[in-house]
A and B are shown apart, each in its own frame.
Chain A
């Protein structure tokens, strides 16, 4: 009985730790959604593009820290190009148009990353071990790695930083006003172009950090793009526009999918964690479409 309980705890903790990794990816989506009310389908490709560029630069012998800074500049350049070439021409177009544009942008980034850096799978060594921390394993019987702990700390730091940015700075106020009504925000002098550039650049940096965490665990490779699919139910549950929602949604999805996979999965032939989060997301869409922390939108008819 005690061993069963311990095992359940282990599954739960593993799920929560996976959840922080999902949250990191989901954060990038939230940033874009907050500014343009658009689900950025290119976020997965941005994760791949950012981390592949980072590793690619290091392959040229560029030191870790310099490559990191260069990649941040590269992602700002991607944000700038996106604003100039995609968003500005589509200003005042419907959200559906922007959504389609992000799908196209995703394909461009996928192709560009592979054309520039090649398709080989790369190893990313952050110097953080992904093996169990002995003290925790010995005393608590929980197999938690240093990478898990780092991912949790990074996610928490980013959430605190972004929450402070949105709540207590002029930029944050501008972002919120643009998200609420871009036309009205523009009419009172909030520079839409700058806001968009800032948001896309920030999403690029978040993509780089998320990519580094995932790349350190699974290698830098094309499959990272599919992480976007994991972020979707996280956002539906947490709320598309909420930064704390991204972390709570991520933790919830991580924990639920692991528990379902371990305890219910064998009755369905296994592999249910691929679709189980979507079932949960559908329930949320039916009963709480704005998610746990999303803003309830009331439209006048």
Chain B
């Protein structure tokens, strides 16, 4: 009796153990060459809408790659760790995910500027690429100072430059911006203030009056900020928030003071379907900047729906979220990982083999996502074409503009660069050089 009971317990434990191990090392990992990736997800907490979509897409894509033969035969494995979008927990997760079964991570993606700042100094020491897909430390775009950090495909200073360009276009040109008043309404954090160095300089050059107004997180209460906006009567509001609470509340508060939503331009991390829907009719007309456009018509999105979700292996329980802003952004990030790995295999003659962090870095730096390549992958039009170089870790520096019609986003401006990309690049180089000097870093030579 006791023996049979023990046997039952042991068999249950083994089944649970097997299930757990398959969760960590998914498909085809038995015997095949594998490459291990970390998924530092944020599925719970105020930023869960963003985290579930973004990291869900990364896992979906890795599953898809495995189902279609891996990266030149190398199967992808991953392990997840919950950061709750918290910088301290991001560091814990980084440490926990760093190594698995003797294999080290080659890339880390925090999906958040606070988390990126928390781990950024570990990258060179640990030989891990920090992939900041449109977020994070902006001057890391100077690859000579930050060889292990990438902002591909575009960073915050380019984004604010593009936003101001679109405002100028709507107003009738840069000359017409003189005397205009813009409120930069932002979350009271490093992320909220990240675009300010570029924004202040452009505003001064164009003769714009810039008013900076901060919102304390989580931002469910913004009456005082919007009363200030009502008093100032700005021509535009650039919104730089995070978390659905803050993002949707800004639109409902704008509606309360009758501020036109067609004069509000949201940051990439402030505007997704999950931010618009809770605001109801108040969201209608709001502009949102995109570094990956939503949509289910892209061939890769369709294939993932068919193959991964069709076989019941999809990561999201709500399949209607496949093809939304956050999901497509996560897909864009994972596409870069796999492409970088493919490049690394080719550069270092390791086709069919796993790559090291240093090799992966070389592969990332060799990213050349032309329209043809994006079409071959099945995401042409979803992201801007871009190429990375030794010195330029930003890539495209381009964004698209969407507008919420009450039910869905519509693209209103195609991939656009700032008015003066060289000016933005100069700001990046100056800031990186200052950092290098302060920290006794000798910038890498890029021939």
Contact = CB atoms under 8 A, between A and B. Distances in A.
B46 A130 contact: no
Contacts of A230: 221
Given A143-B256, A223-B243, A120 B220 contact: no
A221 B188 contact: no
Interface stretch (A85-93, A150-158, A162-170, A263-271): A263-271
Interface string A120-164: 111101000011100000000001010000000000000000000
Interface in B134-168: none
A119 interface: yes
A27 B68 CA distance: 57
Q: Report the contact-size class of chain B (Cβ under 8 Å from the partner).
A: 35 or more
Given A120-B49, A226-B46, A218 B252 contact: yes
B156 to A, nearest CB: 19
B188 A274 contact: yes
Interface stretch (B273-281, B361-369, B381-389): B273-281
Q: Is the interface of A mostly helix, strand, loop or mixed?
A: helix
B252 A114 contact: no
Interface stretch (B110-118, B119-127, B223-231): B223-231
A291 interface: no
Contacts of B45: 222
Contacts of A121: 49, 244, 248, 274-275, 277-278
Interface in A15-37: 15, 17-18, 21
A270 B317 CA distance: 40
Given A130-B252, A226-B46, A258-B224, A271 B216 contact: yes
B207 interface: no
B318 A14 contact: no
B278 A18 contact: no
Given A18-B223, A123-B280, A219 B212 contact: no
A273 B248 CA distance: 19
- The B contact surface, by secondary structure, is helix
Given A119-B48, A219-B248, A224 B220 contact: yes
A190 interface: no
Contact of A125 (B49, B225, B280): B280
B227 A222 contact: no
Given A132-B258, A143-B257, A226 B220 contact: yes
A102 B36 CA distance: 40
B260 interface: no
Interface string B249-270: 1001001111000000000000
Given A270-B215, A271-B215, 15 more contacts: A121-B274, A132-B256, A217-B252, A218-B249, A218-B278, A222-B44, A223-B220, A226-B46, A261-B225, A270-B214, A272-B216, A273-B221, A274-B188, A274-B216, A275-B216
21 contacts: A11-B224, A17-B223, A111-B44, A114-B48, A120-B318, A121-B274, A121-B277, A121-B278, A123-B280, A130-B255, A132-B256, A143-B230, A220-B278, A222-B245, A224-B245, A230-B221, A257-B224, A258-B223, A262-B224, A270-B215, A275-B216
Going nearest first, the 3 A-B pairs with the smallest beta carbon separation are A219-B278, A274-B216, A271-B188
